[in-house]
Each structure stands twice: as C-alpha cells, then as structure tokens.
Structure 1
Amino acid sequence: MSDIKACLFDLDGVIVDTAVYHYRAWKRLANELGFDFTEEENEKLKGVSRVRSLELILEWAGITKTEEERAELAARKNSWYVDMISSMQPEEVLPGAREFLEEVRAAGMKTALGSASKNSGLILERTGLLSLFDAIVDGNSVTASKPDPQVFLKGAEALNTAPHQCVVFEDAVAGIEAAKAGGMKVVGVGSPEILHDADLVVKGLYELSTDLLYHL
C-alpha cells in the first residue's frame, strides 16, 4: 500500500476544459490579422505558454511582429479569454471531477492545483471549486514550464508533503514527465496510447476512487 498523502491536479483537461475558450480567442486574433486558425492548429498549443503560442501562430501565418507588438497581441488575446472564462459556470466542471475532489478530501488527503494557467484562481472561483483546494500553484508563481517539475514540487512544498507521497493528475505528456521528474506517482487522464508513461491512465476522474490511489 502506497503512502499517498496529497493529490496535485492539472487544471485544463483534467478538472475543466477551457480549450474552446483559448481557441475562440486565438481564432479572433488570427482573423483580425487577416488569416484563419484551425482546431487542428489549436491542438498543437495545448500546454504551451501564451507567448510561445503566439509565436507559433505568427509562424504558421508567415507574419513577423516586433517584440512590443507581440506583447500587445498576447495581452489582447488574454483579455478576450478572461472575459469568456469570467462567465464560466459550475456545470462546466468535467464529469466526476468535483466528486473525486470531495472524496479525496474526505479521505484526509491534501489537494493542490499545479497549472500553467495564470487565470486558474478565477476559473476555480467561477466553477465553485476554489474551496476544494488547499493550495494553488500556477503560472503566476512558477518560472519553468512542464516538463520541468517545478510546478508540482512547489505544490508538494505548499502542502508540506514529500514528493513521493504525492500523486499527480495530468492530461499532457509534458505533465506526466514533470510529475515523474519530481519523484511523484502520476495518473494520466486521456488516451493510454499517448499517456503510456503514467502509472495509471483513465478517461476521466469519474473512473477514479481513492482506493485505486493506494495501489499505485
């Protein structure tokens, strides 16, 4: 039986799905710049920082902008995105996520968010999940992106829990790598073919129970 004392969750694709809002905001920006932006291209931006996402979009469009112009475009995209997520509702939480968080806490485990999003606090507040987290480590408090383990190590530190006593829940390969690099157990949420390095892979948190965590 493993000694799991804390659960660290990625946000997007695990607890909520904000990809549609990112897509709409990037598409609006692309359209204003005179080109289109597809859902396939949007898939390539998952887990990628806002600055790098903009760089990729401009590369695909063959457009060159100064650093100052890029900063303005990224800020414009983010303001549209924040407007959209400000209207998020509790029913937008992914199936089973709220119930699993409640079960984890009822079992006496601590919970933290480990996300690249700089808007995670707002999203948790709008979806009614904020009270289910003991700590939030997000894009506002980390300097290195996944697969660097910094976000999860900071989460473990915030919970005063050793890395080997933590289990991470992730939907991206970079996140799986980050958890492993941090010496943590990891549950992949998504496709077993893609997330094969995880200790366990599920389609969603609705497939999980705390009993399963003790056998990782």
Structure 2
Amino acid sequence: MSIVFHQLFLMLFPYSKNRPNCIASIKAVPLQKRKEMITAFQEYLTKHKYTHFDIKAVLFDMDGVLYDSMKYHSRSWYQTMSEEGIDCTPEEFYLHEGRTGGNTINLLIERSHGRQATEDEKERIYKRKSELFTLYNDGDTIPYAYDMLRAVKEKGLDCILVTGSGQPSLLGKLDENFPDIFQKDKMVTAFDVQHGKPHPEPYLMGLEKGRGLKPNQAIVVENAPMGVESAVAAGIFTIAINTGPLDEQVLWDAGADIVLPSMKVLLDNWTDYCFTLGINS
C-alpha cells in the first residue's frame, strides 16, 4: 500500500483493532476502486466532522432495493393518474419513488390543477393505485437481496427497513421473503412519518429505531433519487444501487456517496467494505 493510502487509512480508522487485516483486504481491491472507496469514506468523514465510522446498522429501502417492484409501481401510478386525466409519463414515477403516496398524488394534482389534493382525492386515488399494484406485482425480489441481508446480519449488524411505501402486499411478505431479518420495531413505513422522502425524517426515524444511532453508525442502501436525498439530508453514508432505468448520474446528483450497478456488486464488495469500515463479526 502506498504511503498516501496508508495515511488515508489511518485517518479513517485510528482505533481499528484489526488494522493489519483491513489493510491486507484493501490490497485485494483494484487500485482505482480502492482509491474511489477510500476517497468516498474520507470525504464523508471530513464533511460531517467525524473522526471515524462505528457501524452498527444498515438501513435498507424496500422497493427497488429488496423487491423488483418499481416497474409495477410505475405502471400502476401511470394508469391511475391517466384515469384521473392527469398528464404524466411512466418514467417520471421512478423520480417520485420514495415519496409517500399522498405526497405523490398532491404533487401531480398541484401540477395539473394548480391546487392541493383533497384528503378524499388522496384516499380514492391511492386506493385505486394500490389495487392495480396488487394486480400487477409478481412479488419478485431483487437478485442477491436476501444474500446481502444475511451478510449484514452475519456481521452482527442490525437491518432496518426505511420505506416510503404503505403497500400491504409487500410489507406483509417481508418475513416470508426475508425470514429472520427485520423486526417490526425496526421498520419505518409511510404510516410512521409525517414527511416522506426526500425529507430526512424517514432516515432520522430509522436511526432512532436503531436504539438512537448517530449518523456515522449506519449505512444506507437506496436506489431512488428521493431516497438518496433523504438519507444524505439525515447525514448518513449512502450507497445507491441503480436497479432501475435512470442514468446513474441522477443518483450521483442526488448526493450518493457510492453508486453501484447492482446488489450483486455490493455483495461482492461487502467483505472489503467491512474491512475498510472496521466492521468485524
């Protein structure tokens, strides 16, 4: 390891008891990726004035991170809003992903009609959208999502769910699709927050449900610009997994610390991330 990388490593992890193992692991990472990884961690610490990471939990979004469901959300939203006579495109709902249903409806009503949506409109429109989503959704999970969740648990870390969704058809299947991963008292859904993503409230609540964690004690795994903005606003290191049709630059622009093309790439690099962050089982 070069002197520069060694100095960066010491700055990142001055208290690591397993520093030699960490350094050995980093040597296995290609030089450019090693540089990008360490730079991202160092820039986060510098920006937030932390001396080191002390990771206790990983906060996961649901749609597009655990479930391959965004194409069905997009289709359901597009059909519902078109039935309401509102001009929209299927693609734009990938940009709205992470907002609560009520906030999404209000945004489009305001854009189309120049006024706020009524509570009756929100309830009626969201009910229709939910019916369509239940009809279309096949319940497929993101490839390697369960493997990633288990890898996190094996390191002794908590898995905390932070989603803008209120879809019973998915929330009710978490235990079935991802057994022994999530606890009900460590889940944040659309029903728990006043402000949805991109407001920081969902991820701040996720930290609180992790027994009062500080931002440098968690990592967020997101896939949507709104979710990335929410996590970054909460001050948490954010890894974006680009599982949808958006250009990855959209996720960088939202403030992601690292952008990866798939959950498999995150899983493949997880051991290196753990060593670099001082996470040991």
- AA in 2 matched with 1:195: L
How far 1:147 moved relative to its partner? 2.6
TM-score by length of 1: 0.80
Instruction: Encode CA deviations 1:95-133: one digit per residue, 9 max, x unaligned.
Output: 22110100000111111011111125225245x125312
Structure 1 residues 96 and 150: alpha-carbon distance in aligned structure 2, compared to 1, 3 A threshold: same
Tell me which residue corresponds to 1:121: 171
Tell me which residue corresponds to 1:21: 72
Distance 1:148 1:117 in 2: 14
Instruction: Encode CA deviations 1:163-192: one digit per residue, 9 max, x unaligned.
Output: 211001112233223222222211111254
Matched, 1:215 2:276: yes
Query: 1:61-72, aligned counterparts within 5 Å?
Result: 67=118, 70-72=121-123
Fraction of identical pairs, as percent:
29
Query: 1:38-49, aligned counterparts within 5 Å?
Result: 38-49=89-100
Unpaired stretches in structure 1, ≥5 consecutive residues? none
Distance 1:46 1:5 in 2: 27
How far 1:206 moved relative to its partner? 1.1
Query: 1:27-38, aligned counterparts within 5 Å?
Result: 27-30=78-81, 32-33=83-84, 38=89
Tell me which residue corresponds to 2:146: 98
Tell me which residue corresponds to 2:214: 162
How far 1:79 moved relative to its partner? 3.7
How far 1:69 moved relative to its partner? 5.1
Query: 1:124-139, aligned counterparts within 5 Å?
Result: 124-125=174-175, 128-129=177-178, 131-134=180-183, 135-139=186-190
Matched, 1:112 2:170: no
Matched, 1:77 2:135: no
- AA in 2 matched with 1:167: I
How far 1:159 moved relative to its partner? 1.7
For the residue of structure 2 that corresponds to 1:188, the secondary structure is: strand
Tell me which residue corresponds to 2:263: 205
Unpaired stretches in structure 2, ≥5 consecutive residues? 1-12, 14-52
- AA in 2 matched with 1:178: S
Q: Report how many aligned residue pairs link the two structures.
A: 212
Tell me which residue corresponds to 1:187: 239
Structure 1 residues 34 and 140: alpha-carbon distance in aligned structure 2, compared to 1, 3 A threshold: closer
More deviation in 171-180 or 4-13?
A: 171-180
Aligned-residue CA RMSD (Å): 2.9
Structure 1 residues 18 and 175: alpha-carbon distance in aligned structure 2, compared to 1, 3 A threshold: same
- AA in 1 matched with 2:73: H
TM-score by length of 2: 0.64
Distance 1:162 1:149 in 2: 14
Distance 2:116 2:197 in 1: 27
Structure 1 residues 67 and 180: alpha-carbon distance in aligned structure 2, compared to 1, 3 A threshold: closer
Structure 1 residues 47 and 65: alpha-carbon distance in aligned structure 2, compared to 1, 3 A threshold: closer
Higher helix share: 2
Structure 1 residues 64 and 151: alpha-carbon distance in aligned structure 2, compared to 1, 3 A threshold: closer
8 Å contact from structure 2 (residues 97, 226) kept in 1: no
Matched, 1:143 2:194: yes
How far 1:52 moved relative to its partner? 3.6
